Amino acid sequence: MSGGWLAFWDKPHAIYVNVRHKDVHYRLIAAEIAALVPSRQARVLDYGCGEALRADVVAAACAELLLCDGAPSVRAGLAARFAGDGKIRVLAPDAVELLPHHSLDFIVLHSVAQYLTTAELQSLFATFRRLIARGGVLLVSDILAPQLSAAADVEALLRFAAVNGFLLAALGGLARTLFSDYRRLRVRYGLTHYGEADMLQTLAAAGFTGERAAKNIGHNQARLAFVARPR
């Protein structure tokens, strides 16, 4: 991830329009990931997990949950929040590189690929291929398709906000976004988009057999998700 994006996530930001938005967002993500954990004995990695406020929900569905984020302040918050949960361990990306080969049963990369270059994603998939166990599962979700417009993202957010009781806050948050660091970074660095064929080809090049999932993780069903297994 570029230094600009990493610095953004390493400091306070206003991606979530209020506490209610952040809470329901992380609850939904955790519930949907937990439902896909392959077994209670699974060792799970959530790579680029962000604040993962409800990681305890995922941990309850598996034997061990490894949370990885590149931002030091995010890792510190995770370590403090889940210090009492013996199933959860917080790792830096460098520590993930040192995990034993074929030691993970389920790897999640949610809403991360858009902030990586194609070369960075290819390298990460190669790491995942080395770490994933035979019969393991890789979930890559919240992928921006080439035809996806900013308007579609706005529409999905407003629908989510209306259902969950923070519509007025969402409207105000969208206005603030026009002048935010996030928008400036998006203009400067852009976001990486993948069509279905492109993502399947990238997975195949790393040694995975993939398919598009019927449903994305989270509230935005205009974005794509993929499930892959090692060949």
Least-confidence region, from 1-10, 40-49, 115-124, 193-202: 1-10
- Annotated domain spans of the chain: 3-230
Q: Are 82 and 55 in contact (CB under 8 A)?
A: yes
CB 160 within 8 A of CB 22: no
- Beta-carbon contacts of 41 under 8 Å, excluding residues fewer than 6 positions away, are 62, 63, 105
Length of the chain: 231
CATH of domain 3-230: 3.40.50.150
Which residues are within 8 A (CB) of 31 and not within 5 positions of it... i.e. 6 or more apart? Answer: 54, 57
Distance of CA 184 to the CA centre of its chain: 21
Strands 208-212 and 224-230, by their bridges, are antiparallel
**Cα–Cα distance measured from residue 119 to residue 139, given in angstroms and rounded to the nearest whole number:** 19
Q: Is 65 in contact with 58 (CB distance < 8 Å)?
A: yes
Q: What is the pLDDT of residue 2?
A: 66
Average pLDDT taken over every residue of the chain: 94
- 67-114: pLDDT as tens digits: 999 999 999 999 999 999 999 999 999 999 999 999 999 999 999 999
Kindly report, residue by residue over 8-47, the tens digit of the pLDDT.
Answer: 889 888 889 999 999 999 999 999 999 999 999 999 999 9
CB–CB of 186/153 below 8 Å? no
Q: How confident is the model at residue 150 (pLDDT cuts 50, 70, 90)?
A: confident
Q: Return phi, psi of residue 107, to 5°.
A: -120, 130
Distance CA 101, CA 129 (A): 9
Do the Cβ atoms of 37 and 58 come closer than 8 Å?
A: yes
Q: What is the pLDDT of residues 176-198, one digit of tens each?
A: 877 777 777 777 777 899 999 99
Q: Look at strands 132-143 and 104-110 and give their pairing.
A: parallel
Question: pLDDT at position 182, please?
Answer: 75
**pLDDT for the residue numbered 209:** 98
